[in-house]
Structure 1
């Protein structure tokens, strides 16, 4: 028996998220089906991030156990021959049997893309959120400063989440503007349900002048989901990668 890590990139447009569920096809389901066929044994895949429907990834880490004699680093090549074009393995390698992609100390990076212009661009509709309302990026950056560090992010947690604590550590939050595109990049030691999308929605509301940047500090202190902004649509969100502190490689 050996444990293999795969780094998975995918376009989440046509999937009901990562985790297997009864109401539609998911990334996990597709991976498990094709791995089971390839390795000729039942395979169960465990992912680092259970992304929602419509969310994309450049490097979601996942592991599975196998008795196959195929070298871990070769599995990526064989599996990519079977997978649909909107899912591709970027790397595969053997890891220790006790390696767990969610419980190892790690840092995840997400990007939320906003198309801010007069009219939408059809080719961007699945990969960014469009708004014609002008956004003040400097005010968004000022508001973002209040979210960096360890805080109780209860106000930024989607309803229905079952967690022991809502305290999280955001290690980086930057906002870049490239022409008509605004990119919110968030890095942290773990995230609550819909946390990044609620952060994005809140920062956009600051950007359009609904409330001042300092109000974000009040949102944190309120620990009340109703005080924060709307949850931004899934299509603008991409999991860029996962970095494990036991390895200098960023997946």
Structure 2
């Protein structure tokens, strides 16, 4: 049965996250329902990972199998014609039946955006807001603490499965001042639940000089879920890219 790799963008504002859940509307549910309308039978999709309620994606990836005889371009057209306008299919590719959107992912990029313009209603769903003037240079100095391979137990959800490894590698953590926002760029081989949001808020507090670099080093070295009480708002977070093994950059 042919397997398809799909790259999509979505505005997460109106959803309870990627994954299907009992009491909220999810992006996965919306896509599977749409695929069922096209192929006239249930279809399961498998994503590179979950995003939480309110989190956005520029290039999430999922795969699915189907015997429906459609070209890649017609899959894209059919899906976009039926999906809500806040979920857009960017590309459909035919791939090997051994490809897996989650298990073949070699790394991801997330961006986090913070605006000082707290009165701008058009940023409400798409950036975190903080009226403080952030010290971007000091945020970068503190961000360097996280680069490399570390145990990130202090910066993840307490609900994380205890069997799941907490060791991850961050290759890049850049703090960039832009015209309308401060952008945090995370690139790594993978991220734990809430990890990017918890590190982001920690760096925001450092940018307000409420935390020192030494404080952050101690938090990381503690490997203790209870030492970090910071978690940035969901709407500032974007899944920007998923990298795959043997993928040409």
Place the TM-score, normalised by the shorter chain, in its bin.
over 0.9
* Structure-1 residue corresponding to 2:96: 96
Correspondences of 1:11-90 after superposition (within 5 Å): 11-90=11-90
In structure 2, relative to structure 1, the CA distance for the partners of 1:105 and 1:54 (3 Å cut) is closer
* Structure-2 residue corresponding to 1:121: 120
d(CA) in 1 for partners of 2:229, 2:204: 8
d(CA) in 1 for partners of 2:101, 2:173: 23
Aligned residues: 248
d(CA) in 1 for partners of 2:160, 2:179: 36
What SS does the aligned partner of 2:28 have? helix
Cα displacement string for residues 185-231 of structure 1 (whole angstroms, at most 9, x for unaligned residues): 10111110100000101101111111212322211100112222411
Is the Cα contact below 8 Å between 1:74 and 1:92 reproduced in 2? Answer: no
Deviates more, 1:140-149 or 1:226-235: 226-235
Cα displacement string for residues 20-77 of structure 1 (whole angstroms, at most 9, x for unaligned residues): 0111110000000001111222111111021000000000000011111112343112
* Structure-2 residue corresponding to 1:131: 130
What SS does the aligned partner of 2:36 have? helix
d(CA) in 2 for partners of 1:129, 1:199: 14
Deviates more, 1:56-65 or 1:209-218: 209-218
Structure 1 gap ranges (5+): none
Structure-1-length-normalised TM-score: 0.95
* Structure-2 residue corresponding to 1:187: 187
Structure-2-length-normalised TM-score: 0.96
Is the Cα contact below 8 Å between 1:5 and 1:61 reproduced in 2? Answer: yes
Over aligned residues, Cα RMSD in angstroms? 1.2
In structure 2, relative to structure 1, the CA distance for the partners of 1:234 and 1:10 (3 Å cut) is same
d(CA) in 1 for partners of 2:98, 2:25: 29
Is the Cα contact below 8 Å between 1:205 and 1:229 reproduced in 2? Answer: no
Deviates more, 1:212-221 or 1:55-64: 212-221
* Structure-2 residue corresponding to 1:175: 175
